[in-house]
Structure 1
Amino acid sequence: MDTIAIPTPNRPINATVEIPGSKSITNRALLVAALAQGDSILENALFSDDSQYFAKCLENLGIPITLNSHHAQIQVSGKGGEIPTQQADLFVGLAGTAARFITAMVALGNGEYRLDGVPRMRERPMGDLLKVLQTGGTTVNFEGNPGFMPYTIYGQGFAGGHIRLPANQTSQQLSALLMIAPYAQADTTIEVEGTLVSQSYVQMTCRLMADFGVEVNQNGENLFQIPAGQRYQPRNYTIEPDASNASYFFAAAAVTGGRVRVKYLTKKSCQGDILWLNVLEQMGCQIEEGDDYTEVRGPKQLQGIDIDMNDMSDLVQTLGAIAPFATSPVTIRNVEHIRYKETERIRAVVTELQRLGVTVEEFADGLKIEPSVITPAPIETYHDHRMAMAFAVTGLKAPGIIIKDPNCTAKTFPDYFTRFLQMIEN
């Protein structure tokens, strides 16, 4: 499909939905399972472009992977921190987690590993992670701009020791180092310099490491200590539904004054984006939580909000897409780092809202969106899955929204529009 027209229902949404497994947890579980000794089975794993690029990289490194998409199951035969292949060409597409996690992982190996991705991936920041590896004795050969793909890593083990790492653009580089640190040659202390963005994703990493048998000692927000010699234990592991992807379905209830229940996802989730429920509550929604579900009921009209979204920045587009329907302005702050994501996300949201006739003010670390009447228009998605998924929600309230390149959702949610349209039809 080149485009998809979003139907605007003449009634509130009323649906119960299931969401595939979390991308962030799936890719972290793939890495730690690959470093464990023995077989792990990941249940409710996400099958999407990002996770399949990751799995293919592991296969190319000599880690046996068995994919069962019908049962949403992945078996990983970990090699205890060893990387069997001594030479590999690894392609990560536009998967930031795969790019950062695989880069760190191959430093543990004893070989020559080339990494590359699509053109936009070549623009995304990798330099801070690579500097840490280089300081520890890893050789990196850049084919283009230093600090960016493509490059070749000559692995010879990870030294560990005391590491200083800026994490103001992405937390994925910190997560990558945390996950390989148990296999370092010495105890590792990571000191984060400056402001750590997306802290909830780092906590997710630490929680998953603990689930596989490795402890991280954290002192304050910016100091992490990982004793060497710990080893991940293979296990069967069930992955939570993706809270980021659930946000669009919860937003559908919010914007139409309807009811949407997402099964198997609760506020006990380890994902920071579960905080989206608090945002909706502040905007006037009612939240009901059961043992194995969460339900959102939307108000007659949403209220505006002024919010710091640093710790749930993947949801900026979701909030931006419903903000014009609020009774007062919506202001989003402290998310400058999303300018370095799949696209320049602040600029993309501002551009598309303005295309719809919305009054928007852009500033360095966020934007302010005024209540506005929507003018029908086709939405550019910039090869960014979250632009397509978020602005589809706008079309539930405003007729005439067309999403260009809807297939870009394959990055994290291949059948998003199938499930989205089923929700409308319920």
Structure 2
Amino acid sequence: MLKLLQSVFFPKFANETNFEDETRLTLAYRMSLFLAVAIGILSVILFIYFHIEVAFITLIAFFTVLVATIYIYRTGKFRTPTIIFNLIGAISCTIPLFLLENQPHFLNGLWMTINILFAFIVIGSKWGIGFTIFHAITQSIYYYYYLDDQMEIMRNLTHEQLIATVVNGAICFLIIGYLGWENIRTNELGRKKLNEAQDVLQVQYNIISKQNEEKTVMLKEIHHRVKNNLQIITSLLRLQSRELENPEAIAKFKDATHRVIAMSMIHEKMYQSDHLSTLHLREYLHDLSSDLVSSYQSGYHVNLKIDCDIDSIGLRSIVPIALILNELISNSLKYAFDDYDNCLISISFMHYQGKKCKLIYKDSGTWKAPSRQGSFGLDLIESLTDQLEGTMDLKTYPETIFEITFSPQEDH
């Protein structure tokens, strides 16, 4: 018997989708059960002490609430039945005002208040506002036309009508109090569950933060080791080039060394950066250009002009960009400058047409062997541009200008 009562008064619903639906379902069921008991008692009292027509309307409301309560208990769905019995409740509060004459309707306003509160708490604000407007209109109309008659009826209540009215008022206040208590209880339960969820999220956040720190350290170590390995390759290439006598072969080794250095510098900057997925572009372009100019030891001064409005870029894009610039700067230093005065290399890296980027490279000289067919450097630049899924435009007169347009590739 105790288990049966527990299952009726404290059921466990299995199909709640989220906490809000869970709390509304629980509140709808408990309120429906409480209303069914309260209205049932009121119906019996009205049949005994009051007018049978009023008691019959109350009995209809009782059966409506009872059916809704059973439906909620069996299905775990609350929205449709609560809307239906709220509508029937609103009608039950309103019809007696205009159809049952010579009867006291003093407490109908309390039942309207219950109807409005229940709608706000369980169904939602839109329904609550709707019922508020409806009851405000009907109550105002009734008092405007029938207030004097109602006051006269209240002054001439029989003893039985007075008892029924007292009980009716007591039940109304009990229901309003229960609504408030359940609402507060539900809010406290919600705060408790929210705090529990926040504690769980904080624990998960701490775990993820620790894992991210470990991964950051690991990635920095990887970039550091890759940089060291590339520096070893650079050293080996330089040592090997010392055994060569052919000037063309030495130049080829030197070009290969610069390509490796360009990639090594990327990993060095990544290792030093706080954000391992992106590279500070302006700083890298300046260091790469300066190192290349210094390494060729051309014997004349070369001015560098770098304009860059892009703060950072991902690793998948910067590697081909670095190799392209390495080829372009190397070719300028080797082939472009016949007149050693006013030697200028200009690099511009800007946003272009929204998400795209444009790299503009030009120098103040005229290449001795521009766009030579079969040139490995030019073939490499075209291949790297294709890797960027970009387009290249080359002008060689009156000055050499490379324009490469591409969309930065996201790192995965």
Q: Which has the higher helix share?
A: 2
- TM (normalized to structure 1)? 0.19
Q: Which has the higher contact order (CA 8 A, sep 6+)?
A: 1
Q: Which has the higher strand share?
A: 1
